[in-house]
Amino acid sequence: MIKFLDLQKVTESFQPKLNEAIHRVVDSGWFLLGKEVSSFEQEYASYTGTGYCVGVGNGLDALRLIIRAYMKMGVLKEGDEVIVPANTFIASVLAITENQLTPVFVEPDIQNSNLDIGLIEQHITEKTKAIMVVHLYGQVCWAGELNSIAKKYGLKIIEDNAQAAGAVWSKNDISPEEPSNIPGKKKILAAAKGIDHRRSGSLGDAAAHSFYPGKNLGALGDGGAVTTNDEDLANTIRALANYGSSEKYIHRYKGINSRLDELQAAILRVKLARLDQDNHRRREIARLYINSINQKNVVLPSDTNLAHVWHLFVVRHPDRDDLMRYLLEKQIQTLIHYPVPPNKQSAYKEYNDLSLPVTEILHQQVLSLPISPVMSEHDVQIVAEAINSYPN
């Protein structure tokens, strides 16, 4: 069986460093709000090229805390509208509605499944106060145009970077043939000072990150973070996530408890050190798929930009469910991201009748093939050959 994601093998590939990190924390007897978290926060802020990183409990918390903090700061208020891609994981939308804000669903670009930036402006009303961009599948959703729109209408841009840890956006096209052109950390830091290359998580006003085990930077349990250059926002989020307190027993807000713990932070520090290498490997696998799959009705993702870290390798096929069954018979596990869009869920009855045809086509046709940094080229070939042998 070729698994969709062999997490055991991924974890094993980090040994013995993971066990060393785990033992270090266990032996220290210090499990929350300690040195591992603050070191990870510094390392991840520096990696993303942002001024501040706040570790939180998970990706959804990171999103909802950003919105809640903006409300406490008077930037957002109940009833405000937030532009959000219709084609996303439900967490992006939950963070908006939980705070009594209104999601305004915008259709994706059929070519890359990401929010169609060209459609944003026509959805802006007086109530629009923010845009949530989701870097879906590991592909950066960004354009200089986004900044101009945000400036013109006074909007905050929130990035949902759950799927794109380590992705790089570049104003100048970098040739996909030269992976060595991916900027290293020094260039990224220079980028934070206004030059060409910037990491996802440093593009908007604030970004939410998820360290769910299957993500490109995955913990061994739940974890998340917010990155931003806004000190006020970072402090507000840190307080909100700690019972509304930044000083022991003094509670400024009715906060929550959402923390990244020491164990997960120590694990993430090990994994962060290899993230660029892992993403490079994902790119190689994606290219191999693209060069090997030639089934007549399969629509392949494009690999024309390097701003893609291939959290998911998603193809489309008009008879997706049958192709999925066919592959499973051949011992190849695939998944669907996602079978039902948020606006069609029973949790969002009020949006069930919205007409979002592009989103619906995607949800009917997308299929995620196995991909991970530990997948062998042999397995990639087996998957590609199985797809090529599909008759329909």
Ligand X SMILES: *Cc1c(COP(=O)(O)O)cnc(C)c1O
97 Cβ contact list (under 8 Å, min separation 6): 103, 348
341 binds ligand X (CB under 6 A): no
91 binds ligand X (CB under 6 A): yes
Q: Is 59 helix (H, G, I), strand (E, B) or coil?
A: helix
Residue 223 or residue 373: which is nearer to ligand X going by CB? 223
Token pair 């830091």 is at which residue? 189
Give the separation between CA 326 and CA 306, rounded to whole angstroms.
31
Pairing mode, strands 313-316 and 366-369: antiparallel
10 Cβ contact list (under 8 Å, min separation 6): 218, 372, 373, 374
Residue 174 or residue 265: which is nearer to ligand X going by CB? 265
362: left (phi over 0), alpha (psi -120 to 50) or beta: alpha
CB 89 within 8 A of CB 137: no
* CB 318, min distance to ligand X, A: 25
Q: Is 159 helix (H, G, I), strand (E, B) or coil?
A: strand
DSSP letter (8 states) at residue 316: E
* CB 332, min distance to ligand X, A: 22
114 binds ligand X (CB under 6 A): no
Residues 128-187 within binding reach of ligand X (CB under 6 A): 134, 160, 162-163
224 binds ligand X (CB under 6 A): yes
* CB 202, min distance to ligand X, A: 18
Position closest to ligand X via CB: 59
* CB 389, min distance to ligand X, A: 31
Residue 223 or residue 255: which is nearer to ligand X going by CB? 223
103 binds ligand X (CB under 6 A): no
Q: How far is CA 85 from CA 198, 309, 332, in A?
A: 22, 19, 30
| Candidate residues 2, 5, 60, 115; the one interacting with ligand X per rule CB under 6 A | 60
Q: For ligand X, which stretch binds (CB under 6 A), given 32-40, 55-63, 115-123, 302-310?
A: 55-63
CB 348 within 8 A of CB 335: no
88 binds ligand X (CB under 6 A): yes
* CB 363, min distance to ligand X, A: 15
86 binds ligand X (CB under 6 A): no
59 binds ligand X (CB under 6 A): yes
| Candidate residues 40, 47, 89, 348; the one interacting with ligand X per rule CB under 6 A | 89
CB 117 within 8 A of CB 94: no
CA 16 to chain centroid, in Å, comes to 27
Residue 63 or residue 174: which is nearer to ligand X going by CB? 63
Where along the sequence are the contacts to ligand X (CB under 6 A)?
Answer: 58-60, 88-89, 91-92, 134, 160, 162-163, 210, 212, 222, 224
